[in-house]
Structure formats: structure tokens, C-alpha cells
Structure 1
């Protein structure tokens, strides 16, 4: 099975997760929804990782694949006045991953992260493992604790 910086960091920390490869479609309009469909997963617990900027500083959010991010809620979650999507080149440089394969674990440097609260109540969430076509299943509490992430309402 493939290893990424994210899977290696979680393994080193002793955090368990499962890996779920699928056929990545670069032409899919919504890659998170495409991954959920390919793996037979509920889009409510299939999270997409988005790189944003809050008051000009990098941040990361993870929301259910079928939802849209509320920039107002994202800014509030980080205690900021405004939030905006990060440019693709900047997101790839800061995360160290390619768009379509950005996951919150093992990024090039620690970036403040917030998870959408509606996805965090079950036993598992699914999120990109750091490579296109590779999803990981992980306990929500383990994911949040490892990243020192907040949990807040983020979706529109």
C-alpha cells in the first residue's frame, strides 16, 4: 500500500487508520464526491480538504464532500475577519501535495486546521491520505488530536 508523508506521520504517532485506494478521475468536477461514490461511502463523512487564507494567513479546513464552505463561518472559526480560498500554486507549495491529493496530515509545515462539526460525531471519517486516489479512514478524535485541530460549523 502507498505511503505518504501523512500516513508515515500518523504511523509514527501510533495512530491507526485504514487506507482505501480508488481510481482517481482528474476530470471529475467534485473529486471528493467522486471518491465517495467510487468507494461506496456516505458523502457526509467523506471530507474534502481545502486550503484557505484567513486574514492573509494559511489555514486548512475539512468539510463533507457534498457541502460548500462558508467563508464567514471559516473566518469565525479561526477568529479572523475574512477568509478566502488559497490559490492552487500556493496550496500545493504549502501543503506539499497536489490538488486532488491534499490531505491535512503530513503537510510541509503545521497549518491551523478546523474540521466541520457535523462530520465528527461518528466512529470514522474519510479524508485524503496525501495522494490522488488514496483515502484514509480515521477516528475523528484521533484526527483532531493529531492536528491539534478545532471543530466548528463551517458549511454554508
Structure 2
């Protein structure tokens, strides 16, 4: 997909190193605990062989500018899968130039092609800029037809 100078393509296992570097940069930028790039590269190489994992890379010419990572799972509510946008990151120097929008747009295209009618995104409440970005693109945290917010809960698989 070409959108002016914003090129977005599907990543493959051969892109594991680039994706690992970007995810590492994302996590360190926001002071999130992270594994090393080598560990992340090994994981990306493994998961990108799974048909339920979709990674997209954006670039401006030869310079990689960001990525999106989407996972699919079966759904009981409709025939297609449910998608979760696990990560969307644009390098700081390229933010505001449309790369996030291009990644999200291409993700929607790929998901429609896969018969996926719905994408879930978890965003920290304090991350106002990210919430505003997704809301500008039509995402909401209120169930259609309901007057209350949807929440995401996270817990360990270990017993308390």
C-alpha cells in the first residue's frame, strides 16, 4: 500500500529483527519492562509463522517508521475471527506524519480480507494521546447501545 511517502507492508519472519528493535524501542521509550532485542527477535520469528499473527511495517523510503502487531482468535459471536491490535508504534521522529493512520488503515484492510468484523485495542486510561488517536479513527470504549464503558482486566494464570 502506498499512501504518499507512507508505505505499509506485511512483515514476515525475516523481519523479526526489525520488529524486535522497534518493540524494544517502544518499551524503553515508555519505561516498560522489556526483554532483550535478541529474545524479542526469537519470539517474532516464531509467532510470525502462525497464520493468526499479522505484523505490518511502515516505511518512508528505506527508513522503517513503525509497526503494528495483530493477533486473531476464533469468535462465537460471528463467523470471522476477532482481532486484537496488540501493538502499534511509530518512531518519535515520524509521529504526526500519518504513519500510525496508514498502519491502522492497512490493518483494517487486511482484517476485512480475512473476514474479521471487529478489532479490540487495549489502551491505558492515562494515555490520552493514544486514546484520542483511536477515537479519531472510530474506536470507542462504550458498547454500542449501552451507556457504560467497557473495561479490560488482566490477571496471572498462576493461583493467587
- State the TM-score, normalized to the length of structure 1: 0.29
Larger radius of gyration: 2
Specify which structure has the higher proportion of helix: 2
